[in-house]
Amino acid sequence: MLAGLGAKSVTAMEAHPESAKAARHLSKIVGCDADIVTSDAYRDRKAWKNKFDVIYCSGVVYHVTDPILLLRICFAYLKVGGRLIIETKSTTGPGSQCSFSGSREKGWNWYAPNRQALGRWFADVGFLIDDIELQTRPNGRLLGSAVKKKKSAMPDSTGFSRPGSWLEEKL
């Protein structure tokens, strides 16, 4: 999608080989030169640190095993001034809530944060609170976006899913 909108250099990641194959085919059809990486997002890619201007995840957050870790990885991959855009299934309710139906729903993980939970996820991975934008779309899905204003070490690595990871490095 980003390549079709005129992005000069696009890297797409898709864990499922058949979906990656379809993405390669589609990028050929529309005439864009996108690098389609067949891999999951949790593989360490230190070379991607501070590399990207925009990271767009649509329909991804609710399928991963650790959505906050995914957002932390995305934050680390953004350049200062880069923007993360998340579009996801959501839930409603007071306070900070996230529903989870595990693999019982169509064989995938299904996390569905409400607005406050998604906003807190963005803040917990390093985005400044005043820079986080959240919208509930007419179809009930959430759209979250924030710009990385500065490099930021993890605010708290207690309970971090990947101890010793390059994501914990001090700045």
Return d(Cα 52, Cα 3) in angstroms, integer. Answer: 14
DSSP SS3 for 26: helix
DSSP alpha helix (H) spans, the chain: 17-29, 67-77, 115-125
* CATH 3.40.50.300 holds for 46-150: no
Q: How many CA atoms lie within 13 A of 147 on its CB side?
A: 5
Domain boundaries, the chain: 1-39, 46-150
Contact status, residue 145 vs residue 122, Cβ threshold 8 Å: no
Please return the burial class of 89, using the count of CB atoms within 10 Å of its CB with bins 0-12, 13-18 and 19+.
middle
> Residue 100: which of 71, 65, 76, 137 has the closest Cα?
65
**pLDDT tens series, the chain, 171 aa:** 676 677 778 888 888 899 899 989 988 888 888 889 998 888 888 899 999 999 999 888 888 888 888 999 999 999 999 999 999 988 888 888 888 877 776 767 788 899 999 999 999 899 999 999 999 999 989 999 999 998 887 767 776 666 667 776 766
Contact status, residue 161 vs residue 69, Cβ threshold 8 Å: yes
